[in-house]
Amino acid sequence: MSALEVGGVANLRDVGGIVAGSSRVRSGMLLRSGHLAHLTADGREVLAQRVRHVVDLRDDAEVEREPSALAGVPVTRIPLFLGSVGSFFALNMDLAAMYRHLIDESAPRLVDAVRVIAAGEPTLVHCTVGKDRTGVTVALALSAVGADRDAVIADYALTASLLPRERNRAVVQYLRAHLPDATNAVQLATESPAPVMAALLNEIDERYGSAAAYLRDAGMSDDELHALANALLE
């Protein structure tokens, strides 16, 4: 996996190179990032050359507030949260509870997102920050094809170090001013602790047997899972 510098987009990386048994994840097949609203002209050109499909996991309000600046690339919109992003802050959920909510309540939508990846075109998955919805989706796709667990967790954890400091500073100031009693708000907005993703993947294994079995239980066929492996692995 490697972080990519593209003008106007934060937290962008290619997950290629992660070991999966005797194979590796193909470079250039699965990218992940934050939103694309501030792409520069050069950034648009770079992504248009590298990406053939975009999966946008944001809800309508987020898209209206920060519409993508990438044109000419097909976009599949799959809002993952059943409810607003703000509701998780209002309920003072921690990350573990948010991710559990995702896998429990949005399983068919997660399958829809992974199906786009399985189609075999170079795909960029993003939400607003590229941390939670993107993190869970990418971790599921990688885990379903047997990617090394530690590497999947490390990819998720990398996000916190790639978020712009000025963005985090502004977010933390806002949260402390407007949600002083939301003790988990800063974690929700800025952190990606490895133990949280490790616990989520372990829970999926315990409940379903594997990430592939979770996706299968939510409607993904064996043929689609094979297509996912063919798309992602070299």
* CATH architecture group of domain 2-227: Alpha-Beta Complex (3.90)
What does the pLDDT look like over 115-130, one tens digit per residue? 999 999 999 999 999 9
Long-range contacts of 199-204 (CB under 8 A, 24+ apart): 199/96, 200/96, 200/99, 200/100, 200/103, 200/136, 200/139, 201/139, 201/143, 201/149, 201/152, 201/153, 203/100, 204/103, 204/140, 204/143
When pLDDT is averaged across residues 40-66 and rounded to a whole number, the result is: 95
CA dist 98 and 55 (Å) reads: 20
What does the pLDDT look like over 7-46, one tens digit per residue? 999 999 999 999 999 999 999 999 999 999 999 999 999 9
What does the pLDDT look like over 137-186, one tens digit per residue? 999 999 999 999 999 999 999 998 888 777 777 777 776 766 676 677 77
Q: Any idea where the domains of the chain sit in the sequence?
A: 2-227
Q: According to the model, what pLDDT value does residue 82 have?
A: 67
Q: Whole-prediction pTM value?
A: 0.92
The active-site residue out of 6, 54, 127, 145 is 127
Active site residue 140: no
Q: According to the model, what pLDDT value does residue 182 have?
A: 67
